[in-house]
Amino acid sequence: MSGEKPQGRKSGVADLFVARPIFGVVINLLILIAGLAALVSVDVREMPDVDQPVLSIRTTYEGAVPGTVDQEVTQVLEDALSALDGVSYIESSSSTGESRITIDLSEGTDVDIAANEAREIVSSTQRALPDNIENPVVSKSDSNADAIIRLAVLGDATFDELTTLAEGVIYDRLSVIDGIAEVSVRGNRGNEFRVTLDIPSLLNRGLTVSDVSTALLALRDDTPLGSLEATSQTIALRVGNAEVTADSVGQVPINVTTRVSDIAFVQLVPEDSDVFARVNGQSAIGLDISRQSVGNTLEISKAVSAAVEELRKELPDGVDIVITSDDGVFIEGSIDEVVKSIGLAAVIVVAVIFAFLRSASATLIPAVTIPVALVGTVAAIWLTGFSVNTISLLALVLATGMVVDDTIVVIENIVRKRQQGMGAFAAAAAGTNEVFFAVISTTATLAAVFIPISFLPGQAGGVFSEFGFVLAFAVTLSSISALTLAPVMAAFLDPGRAGAKPGRTGCPARSTS
């Protein structure tokens, strides 16, 4: 093999890598190592994180019935927020002790700017709201707020015992896991005061159930007791203050001569919950786990599963905790399937290359550059703040067939130069330099076609925001590998060594010049 440059041949970029092969190898090793390192810390999710143009305003008004919440809070905030720029429509709901307003913004509205403006409007409107409400919370719609794991606590125990376990040891153990933003307990029950009326005594004093209810509600101005539900014989008063006792409720005056205890019996009992959790028809306490924006769903899933196994050893006999849904399992399964597809695609691509080149050494070169480009793309995904998800992995599947194009063009030209009588090193340099700008222009063209996909408007644009860029990253890295690693490997493996018949050990007998 001769490494001499033929007389009259101009030097090019490839001469640098052929003359210094370690340089080209190191560049590609760095790309590969960066990709492998990024696999540890890159965000993993089912779909890309899409900022939806939706704002939510939540206000807590302890002790207020839905009608009061609607009149004193919801309508006031709605009227003020209707002046917000970019509002498409406003939807609201008022429930016991809580007001929720959802604002859908028009397409193209900057959610961050709209959220700041909404906070300013709410702040300026707060003077018109009741004094004893909590500050309204303005938040953007966030896919991270959705529960990624749901659990249930069930078994041979009373509802109060299950609630105590869920809100105590289980909540404490799960809430400290890295990456978890919130653990919400569902289906649990608090306490309420049940005021059982003595109807004859009530009638003898000339009072009605409404009089008793009004007296109890009047206490709300000083003490946030909670909501009140009345029937003909009982009044259920949900507790919002742990300092309130049955005796203090009994001392509430109805008129100047009568107190609640004079015409009713007051006791503290578990409330009748309006939220129920069931697993296989059995009553249970549910727990919803949401992740932080920087949390890795797969890592959280593994940590929660390990914590559940430990908790099962500590729970009383007959009580169990089960995972009813886990996004991590679904994501891991989806990723495994896509990774298998990528591996199968790579094998098929290599087999097709071998069928046409019919040279093991020529086939080995693109077989090496494929993983360099694909794994290196993971580093680019991490650097740009993207995530490994179904869409980005789909882009990698499509890229598998594209990342070999540049290498095949380079190898085919090197083989042709070698069969024309050039030495292995000279052919590697000359063959690569000859198609250098063709490879660059092909890569630039593909990137120019794919990147605009990431700027599609609307929800589709959000979903495919990473698709075009990931494809562009892959083809760019494939061109780098084709121009730096392929000529080095070709120089040493010599796929088109002298004396080989075109179309047998080299490539199909055709000219690229």
Instruction: Determine the pLDDT at residue 360.
Output: 83
CATH architecture of 54-140: 2-Layer Sandwich (3.30)
329-354 mean pLDDT? 82
| Cα 211 from chain centroid (whole Å) | 52
Task: Give the three-state DSSP class for 457.
Answer: coil
75-84 mean pLDDT? 88
215/250 Cα distance (integer angstroms): 11
Selection from 319, 290, 283 nearest residue 304 by Cα: 290
Instruction: Determine the pLDDT at residue 141.
Output: 62
User: Is the pTM higher than 0.75?
Assistant: no
| Identical topology for domains 13-48+331-493 and 54-140 | no
Q: Which of 100-114, 225-239, 345-359, 431-445 has the highest mean pLDDT?
A: 431-445
Has residue 64 got a pLDDT over 90? no
Amino acid 430 reads A
Could you report the per-residue pLDDT of 92-122, keeping only the tens digit for each?
888 777 888 888 888 777 778 888 898 999 8
73-88 mean pLDDT? 88
Instruction: Determine the pLDDT at residue 502.
Output: 43
Q: Got the DSSP string for 187-250?
A: S---EEEEEEE-HHHHHHTT--HHHHHHHHHHGGGTS----EEE-SSEEEEE---TT--HHHHH
Kindly indicate the confidence band of residue 1, based on its pLDDT and cuts at 50, 70 and 90. Answer: very low
Enter the tokens of residue 43: 């965000």
Instruction: Determine the pLDDT at residue 224.
Output: 43
Tell which wins on pLDDT, 420 or 230. Answer: 420
Instruction: Determine the pLDDT at residue 506.
Output: 41
Burial class (CB in 10 A: 0-12, 13-18, 19+), 65: middle
Q: What is the CA radius of gyration of the chain?
A: 35
Q: How far is CA 384 from CA 38, 125, 378, 469, in A?
A: 11, 40, 10, 10
Q: Which of 92-96, 244-248, 358-362, 409-413 has the highest mean pLDDT?
A: 409-413
Instruction: Determine the pLDDT at residue 453.
Output: 86
447/76 Cα distance (integer angstroms): 51
Has residue 300 got a pLDDT over 60? yes
Contact 443, 475 (CB under 8 A): yes
Tell which wins on pLDDT, 229 or 192. Answer: 192
What CATH fold (topology level) applies to the domain 13-48+331-493?
Multidrug efflux transporter AcrB transmembrane fold (1.20.1640)
394-419 mean pLDDT? 86
Kindly indicate the confidence band of residue 508, based on its pLDDT and cuts at 50, 70 and 90. Answer: very low
Instruction: Determine the pLDDT at residue 250.
Output: 85
Selection from 340, 359, 337, 372 nearest residue 481 by Cα: 372
Kindly indicate the confidence band of residue 190, based on its pLDDT and cuts at 50, 70 and 90. Answer: low
Task: Give the three-state DSSP class for 52.
Answer: coil
Amino acid 466 reads E
Kindly indicate the confidence band of residue 51, based on its pLDDT and cuts at 50, 70 and 90. Answer: low
Residue boundaries of the structural domains of the chain: 13-48+331-493, 54-140, 144-189+275-326, 191-270
Selection from 305, 260, 263, 227 nearest residue 64 by Cα: 227
Contact 240, 62 (CB under 8 A): yes
Could you report the per-residue pLDDT of 407-431, keeping only the tens digit for each?
888 988 888 888 888 888 888 888 8
187-192 mean pLDDT? 66
Please state the CATH superfamily assignment of the domain spanning residues 144-189+275-326 in this structure.
Multidrug efflux transporter AcrB pore domain like (3.30.70.1320)
Instruction: Determine the pLDDT at residue 481.
Output: 92
Has residue 231 got a pLDDT over 70? no
Has residue 240 got a pLDDT over 50? yes
Instruction: Determine the pLDDT at residue 476.
Output: 93
Burial class (CB in 10 A: 0-12, 13-18, 19+), 185: middle
Selection from 489, 452, 470, 431 nearest residue 24 by Cα: 489
CATH code for the structural domain at 191-270: 3.30.2090.10
Tell which wins on pLDDT, 284 or 114. Answer: 114
346-362 mean pLDDT? 81
Task: Give the three-state DSSP class for 202.
Answer: helix
**Long-range contacts of 410-413, Cβ-Cβ distance < 8 Å, separation of 24 or more:** 410/435, 410/439, 410/482, 410/483, 410/486, 410/487, 410/490, 411/357, 411/362, 411/365, 411/366, 411/486, 411/490, 411/495, 411/507, 412/357, 412/507, 412/512, 413/512
73/84 Cα distance (integer angstroms): 17
Handedness of CA 48, 53, 55, 56 (dihedral sign): negative
Has residue 229 got a pLDDT over 60? no
Burial class (CB in 10 A: 0-12, 13-18, 19+), 206: exposed
Q: Which of 10-14, 245-249, 384-388 is the least confident region?
A: 10-14
CB atoms within 10 A of CB 344: 12
Kindly indicate the confidence band of residue 403, based on its pLDDT and cuts at 50, 70 and 90. Answer: confident
Task: Give the three-state DSSP class for 102.
Answer: strand
15-30 mean pLDDT? 91
Q: Which of 42-46, 59-63, 197-201, 509-513 is the least confident region?
A: 509-513
CB atoms within 10 A of CB 252: 19
Mean pLDDT of the chain: 80
Kindly indicate the confidence band of residue 277, based on its pLDDT and cuts at 50, 70 and 90. Answer: low
Instruction: Determine the pLDDT at residue 2.
Output: 43
501's CB contacts (< 8 A; 6+ apart) are: none
- In the chain, what percentage of residues exceed pLDDT 70? 83
Tell which wins on pLDDT, 42 or 220. Answer: 42
Instruction: Determine the pLDDT at residue 401.
Output: 78
CA geometry: angle at 264 spanning 261 and 267, to 5°? Answer: 85
Contact 82, 91 (CB under 8 A): no
Kindly indicate the confidence band of residue 273, based on its pLDDT and cuts at 50, 70 and 90. Answer: low
Region for residue 423 given its phi and psi (left: phi exceeds 0; alpha: psi -120 to 50; beta: otherwise):
beta
What's the distance, Cα to Cα, between the start and end of the chain in Å? 23
401/395 Cα distance (integer angstroms): 11
Instruction: Determine the pLDDT at residue 260.
Output: 87
